[in-house]
A and B are shown apart, each in its own frame.
Chain A
Amino acid sequence: MLHVQIDMFSGRPNPEWIITDEDLSEGLLASVVEAKGAAARPGTGFSGLGFREIRITRLSDDPPRRRGGPRDFALASVAAEDFRASGELALRVLESMPLDSDIQLLSHALTPLTRELRDLIFERVEGFLSDPPKVSKFKTSPYNPLRSTIRDATCRRCEYEVSQFNPGFWNTPAAQPRNNCYNYARNWRTDTFAQPGRAHGAMTGTMACANVSTAAMADGLVKRCNCLPISEWPRRLMALVIDPGWDYHWYRHQRGGFWGHKPGGTAARNMDNSGVVIANPETCNRGGYTDFCGYFYAGRSVVIN
């Protein structure tokens, strides 16, 4: 089964439906594997008003007949390497839109799947494919007074962004208990107590450096010194540590040269277990989190949940 969402609206819910036809699902997944460059990472293409992309997610853990396809991907995205092939597949997906879906989704109350909506989607997608918007590829980092781009002291050819320490954003009754160290370090409030790899079906229960690193890299993190392009702005530098066998923990490099973190459901802070501002996550007091695993960059395309 596949979940299809047409990312096109701003206020009302996007049109979405479930493809239950096994042959249709498998055929589409096989085409994505064959048409190299047709699938893009969701959320990395056009981000303005109007049609943006078609997002597709596999809903079951059954392996597809053709291996190698991504679990989540976007079609008709300007981020696709082969935009033409991506568009052709997108039109095939649109043909699957039911006008009277057997599976009622919450969004259907506000965005029912009508013939008018179907016509609108086709019109918008075809217009998008024939005249795709120019996505601004930053040549320099956008200006933000609370965020600076710095050169990595360890890998001088790489750059990343550091933002002002802002614990007040996290330390509220609504946000604090629902967001953990991974949310904080990635700087994404999901309210789901995000777990490395969960957004991409790659979560691990083994609390060791290699396993948690692999899970996080499935979300899109890359090891330090694999420089991220400016299109991934804002890029974060994160550090991973492990309480062997029990738990993991993440830190984020902040503006001012220190590191911030958020231990579980507790308050975000910039101090270690000795009450000292964290200048170096490798040497700060980390309690039982004795294994230092390394550093990672996280760009804008890193999706966590």
Chain B
Amino acid sequence: MSERKSDGPTPMERFIGGLLPENPVYRQILGICPTLAVTNTMEGALTMGLAAAFVLLCSNVLISLIRPLLKPHLRILIFTLTIATFVTIADRVLAAYLYDMSKQLGPYIPLIIVNCIIIARCEICASKQSVGTAAADALGQSLGFTLGLMSIATVREILGFGTWFGRWLGWRVIPEMAPAHWSNWVVMILPPGAFLTLGLLLGVFNALTAKKEKAA
């Protein structure tokens, strides 16, 4: 509580940080479980991203509001309680209004509770900075998370189903062809495809950012 002049990164820095330099999927490698599980369709990725965004935003704002009251040894308990509550709310809202998505995402929505991203942001940002900064941080991180999810889902859905947003929009990227010319890469829909895609995309991401750093 010494100098409050420089309160840490500004809201804008927090927001931009979540997108690229501190991208939760590609840089921090957090929250991998939902990243692999829901990314076989774009709709799943988008819904998971939105649910995580809701939980992250609400938790960050609430924790930031009560941060003067937080005692050191109880703070993790308070974080967990807050996050679990908002996840329950998100899960129930999905089951009420987007029932098909809720069935498809299954147990991975409640797993947002143990998604390391949210606890990490509460600890690093929300418990130390003001509400505005915390909100910007939440928005940046969840946007980065959603973009990461959607990048993986794009690869998996196009190669595995031949569609993009096939369920909601019905766009076919790869036209229906005889199996002799193209058959869907079923492995992309299954778990191994998820791991392989993430590994290769991580490699691509690291290669691109390393080149940028070298050029700079």
Q: Are A and B subunits of one complex?
A: no
Chain A residues with CB under 8 Å of chain B are none
B residues within 8 Å of A by Cβ? none
